[in-house]
């Protein structure tokens, strides 16, 4: 495991309890409800969450009857998620303990922003590999400008690595996973807007 991952683990282990108590952003909660409506409309029952944290989103999906499995880099986040009843595992994006193409949908909020541009394609491929063709994949990130480096906002040490992307560039990067059906942003700060995308998964080996 590289130093970037070790630093993220250290940060999120320290942040776990506060994160579990923090309310999800209201705008993101709206997108979550819309995504849940989509899962119901399409009859999808299984969901992979990448970056499950303490289970704030997973518990909402599970309460609605969705079978959720999640992964997170930080052991303390996983412990809290399991305590909340989530089927959660400590793993990186690249070693998720699930067979290929076994989930009907995917959800990943504020996780891929910690992946450097140099590894983004590999990370998207790893997530897509666990999803069925045609699965809806929701991805949320902070961005709006192109910038990579340690966060200047963090008070916990070590600070987190962020890879922020402009809206247009992120849309192009996500298109590797499939058709970008929706792309919405909110927030007033140009460099720290939240980007939420719905991608319809297409496997690269599809003919």
- pLDDT truncated to tens, each residue of the chain (207 aa)? 789 999 999 999 999 988 988 889 999 999 999 999 999 999 999 999 999 999 999 999 999 999 999 999 999 999 999 999 999 999 999 999 999 999 999 999 999 999 999 999 999 999 999 999 999 999 999 999 999 999 888 888 999 999 999 999 999 999 999 999 999 999 988 889 999 999 999 998 764
Residue 43 is given by DSSP the state T
Question: Long-range contacts for 60-66 (Cβ within 8 Å, ≥24 apart)?
Answer: 60/32, 60/36, 61/32, 61/36, 61/107, 62/86, 64/36, 64/40, 66/36, 66/39, 66/105
> Going from the N-terminus, what domains does the chain have, and what CATH number goes with each?
3-201 (3.40.50.150)
- Which residues does residue 141 pair with via DSSP β-bridges, in sequence order? 195
What's the 3-state SS for 76-90? HHHHHHHHCCCEEEE
pLDDT for residue 18: 86
pLDDT for residue 84: 97
Beta-strand (E) ranges in 59-202?
67-72, 87-90, 106-109, 136-143, 147-150, 161-164, 178-186, 193-201
Distance between CA atoms of residues 161 and 5, nearest Å: 9
State phi, psi for 146 to the nearest 5 degrees. -95, 110
pLDDT for residue 154: 85
Residue of 181, 111, 104 lying closest to 139 (CA atoms): 111
Torsion of CA 185, 84, 12, 105, to 10 degrees: -40
Q: Give the length of the chain.
A: 207
What pTM did the predictor assign? 0.95
Classified as helix, coil or strand, 110 is coil
Beta-strand (E) ranges in 18-170?
46-50, 67-72, 87-90, 106-109, 136-143, 147-150, 161-164
């Amino acid at each position: 495991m590289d130093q970037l991952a070790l630093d993220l683990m250290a940060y999120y282990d320290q942040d776990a309890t506060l994160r579990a108590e923090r309310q999800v952003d209201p705008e993101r909660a709206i997108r979550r409800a819309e995504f849940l409506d989509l899962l119901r409309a399409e009859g999808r029952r299984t969901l992979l969450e990448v970056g499950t944290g303490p289970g704030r989103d997973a518990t909402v999906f599970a309460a609605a009857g969705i079978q959720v499995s999640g992964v997170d880099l930080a052991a303390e986040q996983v412990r809290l998620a399991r305590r909340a009843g989530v089927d959660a595992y400590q793993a990186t994006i690249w070693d998720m303990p699930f067979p290929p193409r076994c989930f009907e949908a995917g959800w990943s909020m504020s996780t891929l922003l910690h992946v450097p541009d140099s590894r983004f394609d590999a990370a998207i491929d790893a997530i897509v590999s666990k999803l069925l063709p045609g699965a809806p994949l929701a991805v949320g990130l902070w961005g709006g400008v192109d910038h990579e480096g340690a966060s200047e906002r963090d008070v916990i040490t070590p600070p987190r690595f962020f890879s922020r992307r402009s809206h247009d560039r992120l849309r192009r990067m996500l298109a590797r996973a499939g058709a970008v059906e929706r792309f919405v942003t909110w927030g007033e700060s140009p460099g720290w807007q939240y980007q939420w995308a719905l991608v319809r998964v297409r496997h690269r080996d599809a003919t």
